Structure 1
Amino acid sequence: MKTYTLYSALASVVLANLDSAAARILTSLDQGASYDFVIVGGGVAGSVLANRLSEVSSVNVLLIEAGGSPNGNLAVEVPFLGTSLSGSAIDWNYTITPQTGLNGRSFELTRGKVLGGSSCLNLMTWNRCANDLYDHWAYLSGDDGWSWANIEKYYLKTSRLVAPADGHNTTGQVTPSAHGDGPVEVSVAGFLQPLDSVVVTASKQTGGIWEFSEDINAGNGLGTTYMQSSVGEGKRSHAASAYLDPIANRTNLDILINTQATRLINVATSGTPDIRTVEYAQSRDGPRSSITATKEVILSAGVIASPQLLQLSGIGPSDLLTTLNITTLISNPLVGAGLVDHPMIPLYFTTNSTTTWDPVLQDTNVFNGDLERWQENQTGLFVDSPADVQSFWRIPEGDGVWSSGEDTAAGAESAHLESIWVNAYAPFGSAPPSTGNFLTVLAAIVSPSSRGSVLINSTSAFDQPLIDPALLTTPFDTYAAVKVIRDIKSFLSTSPAFGALGLEPYGDLASAFVELASNSSEETTSTGEYTKLLKYAVDHSVTVNHPMGTLPFSSSSSTNSSSEAGVLDSELKVKGAKGLRVVDASVFPSVAACHIQAVVYTVTERAADLIKVEYGLI
């Protein structure tokens, strides 16, 4: 989910950045050091790969991470405080380009610059996506290994279901048999809000697209469900704590921190590029060093930095590379193309409920009291992210939007739209009101058709590339933006469960709704309403912070660089190169209609086995 600041004006939290206990932490490499595998990027994918490859005692693994350790960072550890990490020292502090679909607005894109990556900064929602997402990927790549039947075992290796922080009976809130025995701890909320039961009751009353789902991670990606999060015992469970900290005693894994890869180097003197050398530095103007993997380099720098590094290394659109005087090793216009994210529109309502957590934002004493309760025994509001319930649904087959285009979702059990229910005012870009009680519904498009790009505009890895998710730039996406608001409005107004909350639209949403209510003409309730709601979406959309798809995999038999060929083969190796593989969210060949961290863990577990098989390590 897109992060936002909750408490910067309320309290000052010490954010220490201590060395991790995992493996051997280095700030420089020993002269003559040699490694079989060099992993660039210590986020979710890099952490999983470092663990799984170093399970083989005969190989040596180096993990290079641009940031430091999350250990000792209170805002990482406390689930509720995750919203404060955007713009912090462990964030890359990216900014997207002015968006044509949003009238030129621009805003930050939060990505983790720390061991554990964005799993340390996200809001922890744990969705594995519907089975048909993986079946769709198998179809696109011609590789049945990506089908759910074959990848389920990898999902089960990622995580395990644990009791919520308050130990309440979770019968009917989660399906234990849908979960595995992996290192990431997953639980439903440990401090349920009064709003949660209202939304669930409403979903059961209304049915249809709002039908209640006991467990969104049981195969069908549709329905209203209790949100599952990567939280155990009231603490965030992230990639570094789950995959790196437990292997502190392995002597065949080194972790080089506070070090940024600057480019990849071809070691072949002729023929197919063999890209097994990583150049790195610890500052923009600092000395450059390099390390060569004896087997391969695995690029896990993330959906932004992975295509950036390939382009800096001569792999990408040749016209772009020529403009920057970079020698083209492999010409592929798809490198950095295909960026997609989930647009999200915050909808605010006032409520007569006095049980919201708005006082946490409005009163320093309340905030400090909740924080103290967490510090004493990991209980109370701060054991959860700010939301506990989510809903996913599809635009019906008979909707007119489909007359002009194909279905954007992976299959019949994958959603087009999502709502996230927050029992307070969830501020995006502005301070929350100083008084009052609120309900926020975050409305998202999870199967958008818009596609953007990540393109370098300098030859330095220390310069941010141009990041353009192209939000709301297709007719389907603008239609879906209005559709999701309309569907939520209908749900709130027709379900009896919401009646007692006394909901009234707030702010700009109130202005639009009041104008609609004051004019009952047919034009206003159709075309006029559409125009007003689309303007609201354009003026207020951000993203759920789920960027993906900038280096898609495709069929291993395709070797050209056409739009059907992708950047990677189905084993995630860079086409046209030797010694180089990519494993992170950039590899997704189509949009994942869910919160994507669990998908990245799952993809990486399979990638680790693919690597082991290739080198006879399994």
Structure 2
Amino acid sequence: MALSVPLTFSLLASALFIAPVLARVHQHSSQLPVNKYDYIVVGAGAAGLGTSLLLASRRMVLAPSLFLRPALGIFDTAPSSLSILMTFFSDEGILAAQVPLLAPTLTPNYMSHHYGSSEDYDRLARITGDSGWSWNNMKQYIKRHEKIVPPADGHNTTGQYTPSLHGTNGVLPKSLPGYSVATDSRIIATTRELSSEFPFNQDITSGNVLGVTWVQSAIGGGKRSSSSTTYLASVKDRKNVDVLVNAQVTKLLRTGTVGGKPSFKGVQYAAAPGSPTQTAYAREEVILSAGSLGTPQILMLSGIGDKDELASHYITTVIENTSVGKNLSDHALLPNNWIVQGTESLDGLFRDQSALNSALVQWQANKTGPLVHGTVNHIGFFRLPSDAPIFETTSDPSSGPTASHYELIFSSYWLHPTLPSPANGSYMTICSALISPTSRGYLKLASADPFQTPLINPQYLSTAFDKYTLREAVKAAKRFTSGPAWADYILAPYGDLASTNTDADIDAYARKYTSTIFHPVGTAAMSAKDAGWGVVDPDFRLKGADGVRIVDASVWPFVPNAHTQGPVYLLAERAASIIAEPSKSNADLRGNLGFLNPRSR
């Protein structure tokens, strides 16, 4: 059965951005000076904001949006002036979007910031037939994108990462954990005690993700680093930036035919359900960056998708493409909880309002203390044994031999998306996550109303491989906690985990508690230009159309070996290079064209 996204989910998404003070804020579209610009960017998460700031070099910058309610950004490339329109649902003053440890109270990413396996990118290059997607080309963007900074507690990070792999002058600050938790030393000890199965990996930015590693997080100076506080904030002083608050794109507008293809160089938007629609047009292109759920929804509302599905909502098909909204891939998440000794876990902090208030005072004063904790300090990526029985009937779906099948995510407190925290006691959590799933879901319109959230069926654990792998990931978590380092800390597994004694028990447990880590991709998949499937070409252009590119996680044809924030930023970096200078799409343009480096201005 297809699932409707809960209303609370889309409402919480409105708190994803910290809005900086920007020039010329407009409360209504009637205040805008013009309605035609060079570029329009729909959506402004990591991809939209990242792409647009990099394109600011070509007189373009961006606009924020909601996860399912994408707003719009419009950019002008006139040589004598820079006219930029940004529209978004502001979350100015939302404390939980600034304080790292409060991230789980919202729906955005949990700040883990890495890029995946080198073999993910090489696989994408093979799928698309474009060598520009290979790791050897894509890794150049890491140092352009990130700015590694000291952790909030200023501890010595020697041996916790490899400095040469990172950038120090990029746009987005990131750091190693800035607050030590009770499980840290025990996790590292286990990588020594059980090294054959759980080795330590100093830095997965190398492209080899296998092993347990210290988490690198999008946190700088004790504060959450988002695309809004970094890419967007960098344009706050521009006098020629127009900001339109609270507007939602409802569909792309067809503006003609170019080269036998329908051209979509316009957008329709509205302030709220039932309000009058407004239009804006692009001289060059519309860049759709509304995310893996928002992007296919807008495409289908615009008449781009499966003709039978569109006809069921009385939408005229302009481009028949059955891949739109299909191929949904995600990292399924299964939390495993243990009861632990003492009061060293962070559970007490969440229950004690006085302690939480004190921690908040400390954070506000100097951005230190428990609230700078980025929810996890360690993660680990692992493979099934090459002789695992599942490979007798299923080919290996991973990207390659240094890519993973599953992940373990370690938290020094109760973390469970589907169960409330117990009223007392101390806990630790190891989440098992499925990294190379073979299950594929889909997204469909619920109606032709752009303000109604779509129907989503992720079809988690619908294949034998996925069931087997998540089962083995639970077993791995249990073996990890059996090491000597945990003997004086763990009291017992919590709840149903204690009863997972057989494969059938684990499968039932997984069916009951598996949810999502919110890494959906693939609903507007990238493929080779001559492929009979897919939604975009390797240069992000919408297949069968003129004037539209898609730049967000939806174009990944498979989910990478990473929490998807990092890979999406790299995608945005390459998109900016391709759009700014198509003939040099495989080169780092910011290195040889000063106008692509915001620091050159």
**TM-score category (smaller protein):** 0.7 to 0.9
Residue 181 of structure 2 corresponds to 193
**Equivalent residues of 1:42, 1:64 under 8 A apart:** no
Please state whether the residue corresponding to 1:194 is helix, strand or coil.
Answer: coil
Residue 103 of structure 2 corresponds to 82
Please state whether the residue corresponding to 1:391 is helix, strand or coil.
Answer: strand
CA distance in 2, matches of 1:56, 1:21: 23
Please state whether the residue corresponding to 1:188 is helix, strand or coil.
Answer: coil
Residue 328 of structure 1 corresponds to 317
1:219 corresponds to 2:207: yes
CA distance in 2, matches of 1:449, 1:188: 32
Residue 305 of structure 2 corresponds to 316
Following superposition, the deviation at residue 477 of structure 1 comes to 0.8
**Equivalent residues of 1:188, 1:227 under 8 A apart:** yes
Following superposition, the deviation at residue 62 of structure 1 comes to 4.7
CA distance in 2, matches of 1:396, 1:18: 44
Residue 493 of structure 2 corresponds to 505
1:404 corresponds to 2:377: no
Letter in 2 for 1:76: A
Residue 149 of structure 2 corresponds to 162
Please state whether the residue corresponding to 1:387 is helix, strand or coil.
Answer: coil
CA distance in 2, matches of 1:451, 1:269: 34
Residue 243 of structure 1 corresponds to 231
Residue 246 of structure 2 corresponds to 258
Residue 89 of structure 2 corresponds to 67
Letter in 2 for 1:593: N
User: Does the C-alpha gap of structure 1 residues 22 and 50 become closer, same or farther in structure 2, counting only changes over 3 Å?
Assistant: farther
Q: Which of residues 335, 341, 355 in structure 1 aligns to 2:330?
A: 341
Q: What TM-score results when the alignment is normalised by the length of structure 1?
A: 0.85
User: Does the C-alpha gap of structure 1 residues 348 and 377 become closer, same or farther in structure 2, counting only changes over 3 Å?
Assistant: same
In structure 2, the gaps of 5 or more residues are: 1-14, 60-76, 594-601
CA distance in 1, matches of 2:215, 2:310: 44
Q: Which of residues 579, 598, 610 in structure 1 aligns to 2:566?
A: 598
Please state whether the residue corresponding to 1:372 is helix, strand or coil.
Answer: helix
Residue 517 of structure 2 corresponds to 544
Please state whether the residue corresponding to 2:206 is helix, strand or coil.
Answer: coil
Residue 12 of structure 2 corresponds to none
Following superposition, the deviation at residue 427 of structure 1 comes to 3.6
User: Does the C-alpha gap of structure 1 residues 404 and 25 become closer, same or farther in structure 2, counting only changes over 3 Å?
Assistant: farther
Please state whether the residue corresponding to 2:357 is helix, strand or coil.
Answer: helix
Please state whether the residue corresponding to 1:338 is helix, strand or coil.
Answer: coil
Residue 9 of structure 2 corresponds to none
Aligned residue runs from structure 1 range 112-131, under 5 A = 121-131=108-118
Residue 417 of structure 1 corresponds to 406
Following superposition, the deviation at residue 391 of structure 1 comes to 0.9
Residue 12 of structure 1 corresponds to none
Residue 430 of structure 1 corresponds to 419
User: Does the C-alpha gap of structure 1 residues 324 and 62 become closer, same or farther in structure 2, counting only changes over 3 Å?
Assistant: farther
CA RMSD of aligned residues (A): 1.9
CA distance in 2, matches of 1:19, 1:125: 22
**Equivalent residues of 1:419, 1:441 under 8 A apart:** yes
Following superposition, the deviation at residue 40 of structure 1 comes to 0.4
CA distance in 1, matches of 2:583, 2:250: 27
Aligned residue runs from structure 1 range 435-446, under 5 A = 435-446=424-435
Following superposition, the deviation at residue 503 of structure 1 comes to 3.4
1:472 corresponds to 2:494: no
Between 1:602-611 and 1:26-35, the stretch displaced more is 26-35
CA distance in 1, matches of 2:42, 2:542: 15
**Equivalent residues of 1:16, 1:74 under 8 A apart:** no
Following superposition, the deviation at residue 614 of structure 1 comes to 3.7
CA distance in 2, matches of 1:314, 1:64: 25
Following superposition, the deviation at residue 215 of structure 1 comes to 1.0
CA distance in 1, matches of 2:560, 2:18: 34
Q: Which of residues 122, 139, 146 in structure 2 aligns to 1:152?
A: 139
CA distance in 2, matches of 1:208, 1:331: 51
**Equivalent residues of 2:520, 2:559 under 8 A apart:** no
Aligned residue runs from structure 1 range 437-586, under 5 A = 437-493=426-482, 495-510=483-498, 512-513=499-500, 516=501, 529-558=502-531, 562=532, 565-586=533-554
% identical equivalent positions: 36
CA distance in 1, matches of 2:94, 2:518: 21
1:175 corresponds to 2:162: yes
CA distance in 1, matches of 2:430, 2:279: 49
Following superposition, the deviation at residue 549 of structure 1 comes to 1.0
Please state whether the residue corresponding to 1:264 is helix, strand or coil.
Answer: strand
Please state whether the residue corresponding to 1:165 is helix, strand or coil.
Answer: coil
CA offsets per residue over residues 89-136 of structure 1, 9 Å max, x none? xxxxxxxxxxxxxxxxxxxxxxxxxxxxxxxx2210011101111111
**Equivalent residues of 1:342, 1:546 under 8 A apart:** yes
Q: What TM-score results when the alignment is normalised by the length of structure 2?
A: 0.88
User: Does the C-alpha gap of structure 1 residues 488 and 455 become closer, same or farther in structure 2, counting only changes over 3 Å?
Assistant: same
Following superposition, the deviation at residue 429 of structure 1 comes to 3.1
**Equivalent residues of 2:522, 2:557 under 8 A apart:** yes
Residue 124 of structure 2 corresponds to 137
Please state whether the residue corresponding to 1:553 is helix, strand or coil.
Answer: coil
Q: Which of residues 48, 61, 78 in structure 1 aligns to 2:50?
A: 48
Aligned residue runs from structure 1 range 278-289, under 5 A = 278-289=267-278
CA offsets per residue over residues 475-496 of structure 1, 9 Å max, x none? 1111112110111112222x21
Please state whether the residue corresponding to 2:238 is helix, strand or coil.
Answer: coil
Residue 358 of structure 1 corresponds to 347
Following superposition, the deviation at residue 362 of structure 1 comes to 2.3
1:613 corresponds to 2:581: yes
CA distance in 1, matches of 2:206, 2:238: 35
Please state whether the residue corresponding to 1:398 is helix, strand or coil.
Answer: coil
Please state whether the residue corresponding to 1:291 is helix, strand or coil.
Answer: strand
CA distance in 2, matches of 1:45, 1:353: 43
Following superposition, the deviation at residue 277 of structure 1 comes to 0.6
Residue 555 of structure 2 corresponds to 587
Following superposition, the deviation at residue 470 of structure 1 comes to 1.0
CA offsets per residue over residues 176-228 of structure 1, 9 Å max, x none? 11111311111111111121110111012211231001112122111101111
1:394 corresponds to 2:401: no
CA distance in 2, matches of 1:391, 1:16: 27
User: Does the C-alpha gap of structure 1 residues 179 and 80 become closer, same or farther in structure 2, counting only changes over 3 Å?
Assistant: same
Following superposition, the deviation at residue 84 of structure 1 comes to 1.3
CA offsets per residue over residues 462-484 of structure 1, 9 Å max, x none? 00111111111111111112110
CA distance in 2, matches of 1:16, 1:82: 10
CA distance in 2, matches of 1:612, 1:590: 26
Residue 26 of structure 2 corresponds to 26
Following superposition, the deviation at residue 25 of structure 1 comes to 3.4
Between 1:345-354 and 1:580-589, the stretch displaced more is 345-354
Residue 3 of structure 2 corresponds to none
Aligned residue runs from structure 1 range 275-314, under 5 A = 275-314=264-303
